[in-house]
Amino acid sequence: MKTSYTEHNFGRRFYSCPNYKIKRTFGFFAWVDPLMCDYGKRVLKRMRDMQKRLNFDINEVQILKEEVEKHKEEVQKHCVHEKKYKEEVEKHRKQVKEYKLLWQ
C-alpha cells in the first residue's frame, strides 16, 4: 500500500504494481480510501509539514548535543590544565617564601 502526495489526492492510499514508479507497470491500480474533502487534505498537509519541522528540530538538537559534548570535553581539558597550573604556581610561591626566609 502506498500513499499519494499529489495535490488532488493528497493522503489517499492506494495499491499499485510494484513497478508503478518506473513506468513499466502491468496496469494494476486500486484506491483504498475514498476521495477526501479539501479540509481533510489541508489538515493532512499541515500534519506532514509539522512532522518535517519536528524531524528537522530533532536533527538540529542532536547536532547541538554533539557540539555541547565536544565543548564539554575541551572545558574539562582546560580545567585539568588550569588545576595543574595553579598547583605549579602555589609550589613556586612556597619556594619563593622559603628563599625569602633563607635570605633574611
Residue 41 amino acid letter: K
CA distance 67 to 102: 52
| Joined grid coordinates for residue 5 | 502526495
Q: From CA 11, how far away is CA 62, in angstroms rounded?
A: 30
What would the pLDDT profile of 36-94 be if each residue is shown by its tens digit?
888 888 888 888 888 888 888 888 888 888 988 888 888 888 877 788 888 888 888 88
**Three cell numbers written together for 22:** 518506473
Q: What sign does the CA torsion over 56, 62, 63, 68 have?
A: positive
Please state the pTM of the whole predicted model.
0.43
> What are the residue ranges spanned by the domains of the chain?
1-36, 37-103
